[in-house]
Chains A and B, each alone.
Chain A
Amino acid sequence: MILLELKNIKKYFPIKRKSWGGQGAFVKAVDQVSLSIYPGENVSLVGESGCGKTTLARIMIKLIQQDSGSIKLEGQEVANLKGSKFRKFRKDIQMVFQDPFNSLDPRFTVFHILKEAMTLEKVRYRHFRDQEQRIKELLAAVDLPVNILNRYPHEFSGGERQRIAIARALVLNPKLLILDEAVSSLDVLIQDQILKLLQELQDKFQLTYLFISHNLKVVRRVSHKIAVMYKGKIVEMAATQEIFQNPLHPYTKELLSAAIEYKSVRRSEDINIHPNAQLVEKEKGHFVLDV
Chain B
Amino acid sequence: MWVYILKRFLVAIPMILIMALATFLLMGSTPGNYLDTIRMDPQVSEETIGYYQHLYKLDRPLLEQFFYWIKNLLRLEFGYSFHYNVPVTRIISARLLNTFILSFASFVLTWAVAIPLGIWAAVHRNQWIDRLIQLFSYIFLSLPSFFIAMILLYWASQTGVLPLGGMYGPDYDQLTLLGKIGDILTHLAIPTVALSIGSIAALQRIMRGNMLEALGQKYILTARAKGLPENKVVYHHALRNAINPLITLLGYEFSSLLSGAALIEIICSWPGLGSLMLTAVRSKDIYLVMTSMLMGGVLFIIGNLLADILLVKVDPRIRYD
Asked whether A and B interact, the reply is yes
Residue A104 lies at the interface, judged by CB distance under 8 Å to chain B: yes
Q: Is the interface of A mostly helix, strand, loop or mixed?
A: loop
Is the Cβ of A107 less than 8 Å from the Cβ of B218?
Answer: no
Question: Which of A91, A102, A154, A165 neighbours the largest number of chain B CB atoms within 10 Å of its CB?
Answer: A102
Give the contacting residue for B317; candidates A58, A104, A116, A152; CB below 8 A.
A152
Is the Cβ of B315 less than 8 Å from the Cβ of A107?
Answer: yes
Is the Cβ of B227 less than 8 Å from the Cβ of A91?
Answer: yes
Chain A positions within 8 Å of B237 at CB level = 105, 107-108
Stretch at the interface among A92-100, A188-196, A277-285: A92-100
One digit per residue, 1 when the CB lies within 8 angstroms of any chain B CB and 0 when it does not, for chain A 90-131 equals 110011010100111111110000001100100000000000
**Distance (Å) between the CB of A285 and the closest chain B CB?**
31
Is the Cβ of B222 less than 8 Å from the Cβ of A107?
Answer: no
One digit per residue, 1 when the CB lies within 8 angstroms of any chain B CB and 0 when it does not, for chain A 159-203 equals 000000100110010000000000000000000000000000000
Chain B positions within 8 Å of A106 at CB level = 219, 241, 315-317
Residue B90 lies at the interface, judged by CB distance under 8 Å to chain A: no
The interface size of chain A toward B, counting residues with CB under 8 Å, comes to 27
Complex: how many Å from CA A91 to CA B227?
8
Question: Which of B315, B316, B317 neighbours the largest number of chain A CB atoms within 10 Å of its CB?
Answer: B316
Complex: how many Å from CA A90 to CA B315?
30
How many A-B pairs have beta carbons closer than 8 Å: the answer is 63
Residue A15 lies at the interface, judged by CB distance under 8 Å to chain B: no
Give the contacting residue for B225; candidates A94, A107, A109, A154; CB below 8 A.
A94
Q: Is the interface of B mostly helix, strand, loop or mixed?
A: helix
Chain A positions within 8 Å of B222 at CB level = 95, 97, 103-105, 165, 168
Complex: how many Å from CA A109 to CA B317?
11
Is the Cβ of B316 less than 8 Å from the Cβ of A152?
Answer: yes
Complex: how many Å from CA A245 to CA B153?
84
Q: Which chain A residue shows the least CB distance to B222?
A: A103
Chain B positions within 8 Å of A152 at CB level = 316-317
Residue B151 lies at the interface, judged by CB distance under 8 Å to chain A: no
Residue B124 lies at the interface, judged by CB distance under 8 Å to chain A: no
List which B203-242 residues lie within 8 A (CB) of chain A: 217-219, 221-228, 232, 236-237, 240-241
Is the Cβ of A102 less than 8 Å from the Cβ of B236?
Answer: no
Complex: how many Å from CA A109 to CA B227?
19
Is the Cβ of B221 less than 8 Å from the Cβ of A63?
Answer: yes
The interface size of chain B toward A, counting residues with CB under 8 Å, comes to 20
Residue A61 lies at the interface, judged by CB distance under 8 Å to chain B: yes
Is the Cβ of A97 less than 8 Å from the Cβ of B228?
Answer: no
One digit per residue, 1 when the CB lies within 8 angstroms of any chain B CB and 0 when it does not, for chain A 63-92 equals 100000000000000000000000100110
Is the Cβ of B226 less than 8 Å from the Cβ of A120?
Answer: yes
One digit per residue, 1 when the CB lies within 8 angstroms of any chain A CB and 0 when it does not, for chain B 40-70 equals 0000000000000000000000000000000
Chain A positions within 8 Å of B217 at CB level = 102
Q: Which chain A residue shows the least CB distance to B225?
A: A95
Complex: how many Å from CA A87 to CA B219?
20
Chain A positions within 8 Å of B226 at CB level = 90, 94-95, 117, 120, 168-169, 172
**Distance (Å) between the CB of B67 and the closest chain A CB?**
49
Complex: how many Å from CA A97 to CA B223?
11
Contact flag A103-B316 (CB < 8 Å), given A63-B224, A116-B236: no
Give the contacting residue for B228; candidates A95, A104, A120; CB below 8 A.
A120
**Distance (Å) between the CB of B214 and the closest chain A CB?**
10
Question: Which of A97, A109, A165 neighbours the largest number of chain B CB atoms within 10 Å of its CB?
Answer: A97
Q: Which chain A residue shows the least CB distance to B240?
A: A107
Complex: how many Å from CA A106 to CA B314?
11
Is the Cβ of A87 less than 8 Å from the Cβ of B317?
Answer: no
Q: Which chain B residue shows the least CB distance to A102?
A: B218
Is the Cβ of B218 less than 8 Å from the Cβ of A97?
Answer: yes
Is the Cβ of B317 less than 8 Å from the Cβ of A90?
Answer: no
Give the contacting residue for A107; candidates B227, B228, B232, B241; CB below 8 A.
B241
**Distance (Å) between the CB of A168 and the closest chain B CB?**
7
Is the Cβ of B227 less than 8 Å from the Cβ of A120?
Answer: yes
Give the contacting residue for B219; candidates A63, A104, A120; CB below 8 A.
A104
Question: Which of A63, A97, A105 neighbours the largest number of chain B CB atoms within 10 Å of its CB?
Answer: A105
Chain B positions within 8 Å of A169 at CB level = 226
Is the Cβ of B221 less than 8 Å from the Cβ of A105?
Answer: no
Some 9 contacts from A to B, beta carbons below 8 A apart, are A61-B225, A87-B227, A94-B225, A102-B217, A106-B316, A107-B241, A116-B232, A117-B226, A152-B316
User: Lowest 4 CB-CB distances: which A-B pairs, in order?
Assistant: A90-B227, A102-B218, A105-B219, A103-B218
Q: A102-B219, A105-B241, A116-B228 are in contact. List 19 more A-B contacts (CB 8 A).
A: A87-B227, A91-B227, A94-B225, A94-B226, A95-B225, A97-B221, A97-B225, A103-B221, A104-B219, A104-B222, A105-B219, A107-B240, A117-B226, A120-B226, A120-B227, A152-B317, A154-B316, A165-B222, A169-B226
